[in-house]
Amino acid sequence: MGQVFSRWPSAAPPLAKDPRPGPEDLPAWMLAAPARPWPGKARDLTAAGLLVLAPAALAALGAAAWPGTAAIGLALLAAAAAALAGAMAARTLAALKASEERFASVFERAGISLWREDWSAAGAAVAALRCAGVSDIESHFADHPEELRAILAKVLIKDVNAFTLEETGAPDKSAYVGPLDRLLPPTDQTFVQWLVAFGRGERHFRSEAHIACPDGTEIDTLFTARLPENAAGFSDIVVASLDITEFKRAQARLAAAEVKLARTSRIMAFGAVSASIAHEVNTPLAAITANAQAALRWLKRPAPNVEEAVAALEDVASEAARARDVVARTRSFFGEAAMELVKVDLVRAAREANLFAEAEIRAKGATVHLTAEPGLPPITGDLVQIQQVFVNLLVNAAQAMAGCAGRRDITVGLQRRGEVVCVTVSDTGPGIEPAQRAQVFEPFHSTKPGGMGVGLAICRACIDSHGGDLWVEEAPGGGAAFRFTLPI
Ligand code: ADP
């Protein structure tokens, strides 16, 4: 299964590799025999016709060649053969009709929403790309979003079952029948995953999507389908759709409660840590003040006592060193000491972060595209900190574009540059003025109402503690492009 409760593809290997030697790892369906030129029913009718006509033609030929009794016998034989063939053809047609009725009945009576869709254009487009040597379908469409939209417009819903109409209250099938793009909002991230699954030759596809019903209400749905085994199958894919809106709402409520809880416990932890730092630093500070005052008194005497003043100043120096140690210890506690180092697959970390931030990203009308160089090596780092960096950058990008007209695209790109992996999170928002670029990383700098202004400062601290760099540039379209590096 290539796609389980995720908007981005899983790392599972494709299931339907072609066993024959042939073009490099093309899925089996692209290599399967071409589609039969005529649909099944017409073919069966023609075959039946041939069965009936052939004996008649034989009889006519026989009568011409051997007139008389032999011809009569041959004609009788031919008539019997024709009658038999006719009966067989009628039985075949009846069986075909019964099978079609059974399918229609199962389709209509199923207790789940079923859609019949024509993906021929999408299948042909993916096959053309794969045959032209494009293996990373997702990156290709991230670079050519207009191509993706053109393909989407050609995917057609041919039919929906009765359950679909009952569940959504649609008056009739015509509300659904037509191009699929009417139902997918511009923020959709799942369509391209169908194409990725086709290109990988997967046998099944499963994905959550957020769709707009014909009456305008938006719902979360889980699409699941068995993918075709040959090119002809793309003209009739049966997709099951399960409404998971309530489940997603409950999930979102839980996530919001968790975030609130985490925030409260962070504030409490901040309070406790500040109190303990204040307590630890206060003692040396009090000693410093007392010793400095004593030194002044010794020196201000009519006969200054330099020896006592020196002793007091020595105490000042050692108490100051103690205060410095307290600060250093605290920093190391929140820095490397608190890191849990593991091998981190950055592509996976980016995908997971996208899921964590999904609700906020969607609420701001933004779409995330991921492009990753194949075969990126893992880095050693703290997974939670790295995900935190991705989440902060994704959410900031979505928030920055919230008021923008036009497309709101966030592109996450990962490439290897020598001994580091370079990650870029760019958006199509207003960008950041060159004069402001250093300031945004300062703690408590925020231009958002209610913003704390610590997100980017935390990101920079996380990346610094991994031995990398984080900075911001202008994205090609004028938005902001946050880049960070992590050593491999
Ligand atoms: P906060 O999000 O609480 O404001 P951050 O430290 O994450 O704190 O961000 C600091 C500031 O940097 C933001 O208030 C915003 O002005 C600016 N900023 C961050 N990301 C972007 C972005 N993608 N585009 C434009 N401005 C941004």
Ligand 1 and 451: CB distance under 6 A: yes
Cα angle, residue 112 at apex, residues 205 and 155 outer, rounded to 5°: 45
Residues 6+ positions from 156 with CB-CB distance below 8 Å: 117, 118, 177, 178, 179, 180
- The answer on 307 and 165 residing in a single domain is no
Phi and psi torsions of 15, nearest 5°: -95, -20
Measured from the Cα of 458, ligand 1's closest atom is 6
Ligand 1 and 397: CB distance under 6 A: yes
- The answer on 356 and 416 residing in a single domain is yes
Distance 486 CA to ligand 1 centre (A): 22
- What is the best residue among 396, 459, 482 to mutate for testing ligand 1's pocket, by most ligand atoms within 8 Å of CB? 396
Phi and psi torsions of 350, nearest 5°: -65, -40
Distance 57 CA to ligand 1 centre (A): 85
Ligand 1 and 201: CB distance under 6 A: no
What's the pLDDT at 2? 25
Q: What CATH number does residue 141 fall under? A: 3.30.450.20
Q: What CATH number does residue 320 fall under? A: 1.10.287.130
Ligand 1 and 440: CB distance under 6 A: yes
- The answer on 387 and 264 residing in a single domain is no
What's the pLDDT at 481? 98
- The answer on 170 and 58 residing in a single domain is no
Rounded Cα gap, residues 316 and 296, in angstroms: 12
- The answer on 125 and 6 residing in a single domain is yes
Ligand 1 and 411: CB distance under 6 A: no
Domain residues for 260? 248-334
Measured from the Cα of 445, ligand 1's closest atom is 10
Distance 180 CA to ligand 1 centre (A): 36
- Number of neighbouring beta carbons within 10 Å of residue 467: 13
Helices 306-334 and 245-300: crossing angle, nearest 10°? 170
Ligand 1 and 429: CB distance under 6 A: yes
Rounded Cα gap, residues 250 and 220, in angstroms: 12
Q: What DSSP assignment string belongs to 341-389? A: -EEE-HHHHHHHHHHHTHHHHHHTT-EEEEEE-TTPPPEEE-HHHHHHH
Domain end, chosen from 311, 334, 357, is at 334
- The answer on 53 and 202 residing in a single domain is no
Distance 396 CA to ligand 1 centre (A): 6
Distance 352 CA to ligand 1 centre (A): 22
| Number of domains forming the structure of the chain | 4
- The answer on 96 and 18 residing in a single domain is no
pLDDT below 50 — which residues of the chain? 1-22, 37-39
Residues 6+ positions from 163 with CB-CB distance below 8 Å: 110, 111, 112, 113, 114
- The answer on 239 and 124 residing in a single domain is yes
What's the pLDDT at 426? 96
- The answer on 385 and 464 residing in a single domain is yes
What's the pLDDT at 156? 97
Structure tokens at 343: 């091998």
Domain end, chosen from 70, 85, 107, is at 107
Domain end, chosen from 317, 334, 351, is at 334
